[in-house]
Structure 1
Amino acid sequence: MSVNQKSVDVLVLGGGAAGVCAAISAARSGYNVLLVESQGCLGGSRTATGVDTFYGFYTPKEQRRIVGGIPWEIAQHLVSQKAAFERPNTYGAGTGITYDIEMLKIIYERTVLDAGAELLYHTYASVVHTEDGVISRVVLANKLGLTEVTARMYIDTTGDGDIAARAGAPFEKSDVAELQSLSTIFFMANVDTTEAKKISHKELAERMKAANQSGQYVLPREEGSWHVTPHPGVIQANMVRVSGIDATDPYALTLAEVEGRQQTQQYVNFLKAYVPGFENAFLISTSHHIGVRETRRILGEYILTEDDVVNGRKFEDGIACCGAPVEDHGAGKDTRWVYVAGDGHYHIPYRSLLPTGVNNLLVAGRCLSATHGAQASARNSAQCMAMGQAVGVAASLAIERQEAVRQIPAYRLQELLREQGAIV
């Protein structure tokens, strides 16, 4: 079998929130960037998974904005198109920016392509070749067959840490019973949202509990939520909970997709029967694929801990700020929340984006080097985008200085990020 050949400066693997910003920042630095995505759109969990709200831009209590740069630019593009609004959240992660998913797909694509990056959909990185701690090439698989891509720098934004793992970088993964649960997001139309809002979140949870006790419903999560969207009468619901799944196992993930859609029907029927305003509503869609919160966590130069998070620790090599609470979606019917103390935010250190043992690879997104509890905070969308921008700049700086990614000075990376409007 013949194998195609391609060469770029920066190869970004995974086109979710982190990968998009990594590709934009590296391309704007003047380098030849290829962004590879397995789906047919950019955004990952922000689009294909149906999570239509950016969380993490603001601290939950003071509502102080702590993320800028490319992520904020994306958010403002949505607002300028009248495709997003800030939605106060009376519990949980605080104010979010709820947007139209279809418009975000377009804005992500336009911003990536305008930056000069090349985009490739429907493609998987199947094999990673590493020699003496350096990735030499990555084999892509798609309808064309196989393509070997060589790059000067590689960025893993797959969410699952696929590239780091295949390159031989060490990682951690919680026991299956402790991994955060998966969720199938669903949308309903023809909802009388004015009437439905009269039921508080606390009362909604009580009604879920009563429905479970009736024996007519099986609702694994009893404190799920719904919210309005930019479209009148259309709501998004995050209620489904599929537990005990290792999403790096495709067989288990397939069964999770089946289970998620079955649970959706239960929750739709519950809402129609138990919540005024939903009587005439109907299901219009489920997410293209089930949402995954946690799989591999790389072992980097520093492992961010839950203690760092809840105590608001600051780092000399901090490249992003996060005020999001620990939001641990375990297997039970509730979710564990732990809030950040002190001034309400902590730093994500650059070292947590550096896999040990591989010198030309960076990671960004939910597969960062963090403990289970810390990852349950740092995985928020604004932080994933901020990490993406940081590794895109870091890759460019490493190429410019002809250094390994762990050798570039953190202060210089921070200077460049601030010049691009990031808050560090």
Structure 2
Amino acid sequence: MTLVPFDPVRVTPEEAGRYPLLWDGDVAVIGGGSAGAAAAVAAARHGRGTLLVESAACLGGTGTAVLDTFYGLYAPGGAERVVGGIAWEVCRALTDRDAAFERLNTYGAGTGVTYDPEVLKVVWDELARGAGVAVLLHARASRVVMDGDTVCGVLIETVAGPGHIRARVVVDATGDADIAWRAGCALERPRADRVVQPLTQTFRLAGVDPVRTTTAELHRLMREHGDSGAYDLPRREGSAHRTTAPGVVHTNLTRVHGVDPTDPWQLSEAEAEGRRQSVEYVRFLTERVPGYERAFLAGAAPRIGVRESRRLIGEYVLTRDDVLSAREFDDAVARCGAPIEDHAAGRDTIWRYVGSGDTTPTGRSYGVPFRCLVPRRVDGLLVAGRCLSATHDAHASVRSMGQCMAMGQAAGTAAAQAAAGGTRVRSVDMATLRERLVVDGALL
């Protein structure tokens, strides 16, 4: 056989045909985090054959590997919940198991839902299985199959070697826009003059009495002992909040600056730096903070948390003005009331609230347009989650897991609608899509 050199990121359907066909159906979702899991459940519930591909051993992504709180479900400064649908179904399932509770965010960024990540893994398993989603774990997309400008599948690497996936619609829920990048979509990418938000290694401490030190006092101690040079604390605020387990706190303290998460060497170095910082913050907490004297490290996240990497340049780019003015859109498929939360500010974090533009929560929210999920010149593909089309500032608001689940549900519903009608995803009837989302519990 004569071997033809492959494009490193794209192959034709004929080239893909050299690999074993693992699955052929309507909707393939790549990435099983908050956005991807919600997208797959939504597509399958609308009667489409759906595959969910995830590189880890479980679903949930950042929600099960890095964090333990859903933010973005409520608009700060008010009691209004702005996310429903599958996201709220997940929260109810966790609460019914006594594995979640609501709490106010450290900075007034709205009420969050803190949960047990181990239970969340099972909840996503149950939702996917109940909807009829085919779930493939320990699998990573390596190339995109394209017929001209249309995505029609992916090649994936599995424990049994490479395989070929065919789909009428592909949803990129990878977080890093891996599929959109491989398909040649227009993207905003990290580079020296386009700094993305820093990364954070989270960890848990057990044996803590968290009520002995307020958040304000914790921040004061961090500034005092960090400024003294006794401890290397790149961030002088952050959170160490109670969890569903007694005496256990979850932290969001470390800060690894200047990293391009799409550069494998930089990402590898960031993982090591995140662990180094974690050890230093544990030393500070146990030596200087009341209530932590007998604390010990109960576990660290298996991977560093990434806030921002590649972002799609889609049919519409959500802007800072859209966020701060609480703008409405005719094609809104999700809502967000979360403030602009920009960690790329040295040791501090910049907060700007929807509807005020300053540090005053208003309880207002804005719409997230469907066009932010649609690539400009590539068909057969939608994105969902933190790789949506938004500027750096707008992204710092709309990237919360509540919005990721809402965008995922919208993308999965739209993908199912397009696959059923044989239409392009960019051409789905918007009135029908929005009506279906509302019927399914989404808040628009």
TM-score by length of 1: 0.97
Q: Cα deviations across residues 344-395 of structure 1 (Å, max 9, x unaligned)?
A: 1000000000011111100000000000000011000110000000000000
Q: Is the 8 A contact 1:328 1:373 kept in 2?
A: yes
Structure 1 CA distance for aligned equivalents of residues 85 and 286 of structure 2 = 42
Q: 1:151 aligns with which of 155, 164, 167?
A: 167
2:428 corresponding residue in structure 1: 408
Structure 2 CA distance for aligned equivalents of residues 52 and 278 of structure 1 = 20
1:318 positional shift? 0.3
After superposition, residues 254-403 of structure 1 pair within 5 angstroms as 254-341=268-355, 344-403=364-423
1:173 positional shift? 2.1
2:28 corresponding residue in structure 1: 11
Question: Identity over the aligned pairs, expressed in percent?
Answer: 49
Structure 1 CA distance for aligned equivalents of residues 351 and 27 of structure 2 = 37
Structure 1 CA distance for aligned equivalents of residues 226 and 379 of structure 2 = 52
1:183 corresponding residue in structure 2: 200
Find the residue that maps to 2:425 and give its secondary structure.
coil
Question: Does 2:209 match 1:192?
Answer: yes
Q: 1:169 aligns with which of 185, 196, 213?
A: 185
Q: Cα deviations across residues 47-94 of structure 1 (Å, max 9, x unaligned)?
A: 112x10001111110121111111100100000000000012252421
Q: Is the 8 A contact 2:27 2:419 kept in 1?
A: no
Question: Does 2:47 match 1:30?
Answer: yes
Given residue 48 of structure 1, which amino acid in structure 2 is its aligned partner?
Answer: A
* Corresponding residue pairs, total: 420
Q: Is the 8 A contact 2:152 2:169 kept in 1?
A: no
1:238 positional shift? 0.3
1:43 corresponding residue in structure 2: 60
2:439 corresponding residue in structure 1: 419
Over 3 Å counting, the alpha-carbon distance change for 1:178 and 1:92 in structure 2 is: farther
Question: Does 2:77 match 1:61?
Answer: yes
Given residue 314 of structure 1, which amino acid in structure 2 is its aligned partner?
Answer: E
| Deviant stretches of 4+, over 4 Å | none
Q: Is the 8 A contact 1:83 1:100 kept in 2?
A: yes
Find the residue that maps to 2:166 and give its secondary structure.
strand
Find the residue that maps to 2:152 and give its secondary structure.
strand
2:13 corresponding residue in structure 1: none
- Contiguous gaps of at least 5 residues in structure 2: 4-17, 356-361
After superposition, residues 93-132 of structure 1 pair within 5 angstroms as 93-132=109-148
Q: Is the 8 A contact 1:38 1:121 kept in 2?
A: yes
1:42 positional shift? 0.7
Given residue 305 of structure 1, which amino acid in structure 2 is its aligned partner?
Answer: T
Structure 1 CA distance for aligned equivalents of residues 420 and 185 of structure 2 = 24
Find the residue that maps to 2:426 and give its secondary structure.
coil
2:254 corresponding residue in structure 1: 240
Structure 2 CA distance for aligned equivalents of residues 92 and 162 of structure 1 = 33
Structure 1 CA distance for aligned equivalents of residues 207 and 363 of structure 2 = 42
Is the deviation greater in 204-213 or in 164-173? 204-213
Given residue 55 of structure 1, which amino acid in structure 2 is its aligned partner?
Answer: Y
Q: Is the 8 A contact 2:340 2:353 kept in 1?
A: yes
1:283 positional shift? 0.4
Structure 2 CA distance for aligned equivalents of residues 348 and 232 of structure 1 = 37
Over 3 Å counting, the alpha-carbon distance change for 1:283 and 1:21 in structure 2 is: same
Structure 2 CA distance for aligned equivalents of residues 252 and 304 of structure 1 = 28
Q: Is the 8 A contact 2:48 2:419 kept in 1?
A: no
Q: Is the 8 A contact 1:317 1:351 kept in 2?
A: yes
TM-score by length of 2: 0.93
Structure 1 CA distance for aligned equivalents of residues 139 and 35 of structure 2 = 17
Find the residue that maps to 1:203 and give its secondary structure.
helix
